[in-house]
Amino acid sequence: MKRALIYTRTSTSAQQIGHEAQEAECRRWAESHGAQVVAVFSDTCSGATSATDRPGLMSALAAIRKGDLLLAYKRDRVGRDLATNLAISGLVAKAGALLVTTDTGEREGPEAQLLTHLLDAIATYERAIIRLRTQASVDVRRQQNKPIGPAPTGQRIVEGALVTDPEEQAKIQRVQEWRAQGLSYRAIMRLCAEQGITSRRGKISLSTVVRWCESR
């Protein structure tokens, strides 16, 4: 029985087809094709991120044995950049394994190569379209003097306009007072946890503490 190592990728943690869904589809494919899943690796990064900047992928490549399958959900989960995908395919082949996706199957030869190149080209095109649409949206908001991206520290967006967020500003002031007393960032983070002080995303992180302390 062939060994299969599953690789999943999402660009954001909120992506609809997330890591768990991709893994489940890959496991179904492996079971139906007589392959045994021995490990799962994941990255949360852009589809254009190079192989060397993907810790999950690099760990997968280190674990691959000759004759293994590196299994991904769809070709665009490998990446959305033709050159990046070619480089990753080359690294997998160099390790003596085969890169397989559920939309291409375990194929080799000229036809398989043509199919993967077409899928990679489509993914590259879709990524370019997404970037154009995003830039167009940014340009429109800029022309309308509307905020772009998340609200700055101590503010929030209400009906497309930036307004003061008194609750967050009170938290920032408290954190800055602790910092002025000489407390370390980690000590402040612990105090926040003890006193129920949270960030916009919930439990406060060290990076949030640093940002709040340095905001003016």
Split at pLDDT 50, 70, 90, the class of 48 is: confident
The lowest-confidence range among 31-35, 116-120, 131-135, 204-208 is 116-120
Which residue has better confidence, 89 or 159? 89
CA distances from 156 to 145, 152, 166, 200, 204 (A): 15, 7, 10, 10, 18
In this predicted structure, the answer to whether residue 106 has a pLDDT above a threshold of 70 is: no
- In DSSP notation, 5-45 reads EEEEEESSTT-SS-HHHHHHHHHHHHHHTTEEEEEEEEEES
Split at pLDDT 50, 70, 90, the class of 201 is: confident
Q: What is the mean pLDDT of residues 176-199?
A: 90
Report all structural domains of the chain as residue ranges with CATH numbers, in order of start: 2-125 (3.40.50.1390), 155-214 (no CATH)
pLDDT in tens, 121-145: 666 667 667 667 767 665 666 676 6
| Contact present, 77 and 8 (Cβ < 8 Å) | yes
The pLDDT score that the predictor gives to residue 85 is: 84
Compute φ and ψ for 196, nearest 5 degrees: 75, 25
Note the pTM of the prediction, 2 decimals.
0.56
Which residue has better confidence, 204 or 140? 204
Which residue has better confidence, 77 or 124? 77
Split at pLDDT 50, 70, 90, the class of 55 is: very high
